[in-house]
Amino acid sequence: MTGLILGLLVTPLVMLLGTTSAYADDEGDTPAAASCLPKPDEVGCISGTLGSRADPIADADVTLTKPDGTTETQTTGDDGKFSFTITEDGEYLVGVDPETLPDGFEVRPPPANLRGPDGELKVQATVGGLRAANLEIRSADYDPSTSNWEEISQSGFNGLRLGLLLALASVGLSLIYGTTGLSNFAHAEQVTLGGMLAYLFVNQQGMPLLVGGLLVLVLCGFTGWFQDRVLWQPLRRRGLGLTQMMIVTIGLSLAIQYGYQFFVGSRTVRVIVDNPTVTSFGPITTTNQSLAAMVISAVVLAGVGFALLRTRIGRATRAVSDNPALAQASGIDTDKVIRLVWTVAMALAGLSGILYALVTNGIKWDTGLQILLLLFAAVTLGGLGTAFGALVGSLVIGFVVEMSPLLPFVPGDFKYAAALLILIVVLLVRPQGLLGKAQRVG
């Protein structure tokens, strides 16, 4: 039965087997300076542009320090672009010789969590991928007194964006737990599925983003309906315990992950190849794709909240979440409610995957695994089984993840750990979560 569900989830990805030859195009335009083209399992690229498209900085020496300590230097062309070819995974350092910059200009130091020992930019690159090295050039008379405010504003904005994207997935995860008591460890794989299917339909099949996105939502919602119909409902009727069912979700999660890796590979795939348009609001710089993703997330979450509070099916869902036995005795078809919850939850996770792929400029086989703990942290922090608690918890986790690297005692690599530490501290004070109800145990 599990194999049947796995087949349903990954069957659309079989079409990707014939698309590996187009991989270099998936990663976007490659800087012409070094004609670097990433190739799966062979070479990767680290690319960037000094200055802007309107005012590029030419004849500047950019140095790449490799994991083994060796260096390579390139001189930017008239378009200000540079591109290095790499042959091994690891952390690279990218810096600019200040003596080669035009008079009156300097390189802005990277954030603390991305700063090398001599002020270089840290870039974690992999073979087969294309990583951007965003070196910002600014006027030498720049007043650094405003840099802290800029970093706080930018990190706060990024935290809000991450929180909204996490909320799309965590609200569904919380509803599933509330109505069934099941902790679904395979939920994050639906986020990956949404991004992968969007890549298939929009990038590979050439569908418009809106049409492809709607099709992804329908397919992801159907996988939720199908899972409950052929797997979870029979297991519930057989009286299988929640612990055993949770183990099934772990196995399903691992199987789906390896399915992605088999059909798509370990590379990062992009939904839209074109470079996004950048927009600035005072100290905040973002892309139009990020703004659109935040608006869509907010509208959808508001719609889910309205449905839970104001519609008949929403009240039935809350009744099943509060007391399934009493809800069934009151005439509510709990199986239909649970199946609807699974359908909506998986559609929301798929939407989160589409938007996440657009915002982060790509998605890969383990994207869901990377955010799984954040989803559970958001659900637990907000209060198990409460959709609105999941929303609040997601926003808190998003802000903590993005803003914790600004603290001098929190290394950038520990930003996820900082979010989980906040979870532990809050639960010590309020075990039921921020919006959860206190319950007697024992």
d(CA 317, CA 334): 8
- pLDDT, the chain, mean: 84
Q: What is the mean pLDDT of residues 176-184?
A: 92
Q: What is the mean pLDDT of residues 21-34?
A: 38
Phi, psi torsion values for 280, nearest 5 degrees? -120, 140
Most confident stretch, 131-140, 213-222, 329-338:
213-222
Going by pLDDT thresholds of 50, 70 and 90, the confidence category of residue 298 is very high
Least confident span in 321-325, 355-359, 438-442: 438-442
Cβ atoms < 10 Å from Cβ of 135: 21
More confident residue, 238 or 438: 238
Going by pLDDT thresholds of 50, 70 and 90, the confidence category of residue 409 is low
220-268 pLDDT tens trace: 999 999 999 999 999 988 888 889 999 999 999 999 999 998 888 888 8
More confident residue, 15 or 311: 311
Query: What is the structure's pLDDT at 119?
Result: 84
pTM, to two decimals: 0.70
222: tokens are: 């159907």
33-55 pLDDT tens trace: 446 888 888 888 998 888 766 57
Query: What is the structure's pLDDT at 8?
Result: 53
Going by pLDDT thresholds of 50, 70 and 90, the confidence category of residue 22 is very low
Q: Is it the case that residue 350 has pLDDT exceeding 50? A: yes
Query: What is the structure's pLDDT at 110?
Result: 85
173 to 38, 181, 264, 376: CA distances (angstroms): 36, 11, 26, 8
Percent of the chain residues past pLDDT 70, beyond the cut:
86
- The secondary structure of the chain, three-state, reads CHHHHHHHHHHHHHHHHHHHHHHHHHCCCCCCCCCCCCECCCEEEEEEECECCCCECCCCEEEEECCCCCEEEEECCCCCEEEEEECCCEEEEEEECHHHCCCCEEECCCCHHHECCCCCEEEEECCCCEEECCCCEEECCCCHHHHHHHHHHHHHHHHHHHHHHHHHHHHHHHHHHHHHCCCCCCHHHHHHHHHHHHHHHHHHCCCCHHHHHHHHHHHHHHHHHHHHHHHHHHHHHCCCCHHHHHHHHHHHHHHHHHHHHHHCCCCCECCCCCCCCEEEECCEEEEHHHHHHHHHHHHHHHHHHHHHHHCHHHHHHHHHHHCHHHHHHCCCCHHHHHHHHHHHHHHHHHHHHHHHHHHCCCECCCHHHHHHHHHHHHHHHHCCCCHHHHHHHHHHHHHHHHHHHHCCCCCHHHHHHHHHHHHHHHHHHCCCCCCCCCCCCC
CA 45 to chain centre: 22
Q: What is the mean pLDDT of residues 2-7?
A: 50
d(CA 275, CA 307): 36
- Cβ(199)–Cβ(270) below 8 Å: yes
More confident residue, 48 or 343: 343
d(CA 68, CA 87): 12
**CA dihedral in degrees (423, 424, 430, 433; nearest 10)?**
40
422: tokens are: 């906040």
Best CA proximity match to 400, nearest among 411, 376, 416, 424: 416
What is the Cβ-side half-sphere exposure of residue 420, based on CA atoms within 13 angstroms? Answer: 10
Most confident stretch, 112-116, 206-210, 283-287, 319-323:
206-210
Least confident span in 163-167, 210-214, 412-416, 418-422: 412-416
Q: What is the mean pLDDT of residues 283-297?
A: 91
Q: What is the mean pLDDT of residues 188-215?
A: 94
Percent of the chain residues past pLDDT 90, beyond the cut:
42
Q: Is it the case that residue 25 has pLDDT exceeding 80? A: no
More confident residue, 331 or 346: 346
Query: What is the structure's pLDDT at 209?
Result: 93
Query: What is the structure's pLDDT at 130?
Result: 85
At a CB cut-off of 8 Å and minimum separation 6, what does 229 contact? 339
Q: What is the mean pLDDT of residues 84-108?
A: 88
d(CA 318, CA 337): 10
Which amino acid is it at 111? P
d(CA 147, CA 138): 12
Best CA proximity match to 385, nearest among 336, 426, 341: 341
More confident residue, 432 or 95: 95
Q: What is the mean pLDDT of residues 157-174?
A: 94
111-162 pLDDT tens trace: 877 888 888 899 988 898 888 888 887 765 555 554 577 888 888 999 999 9
Q: Is it the case that residue 14 has pLDDT exceeding 60? A: no
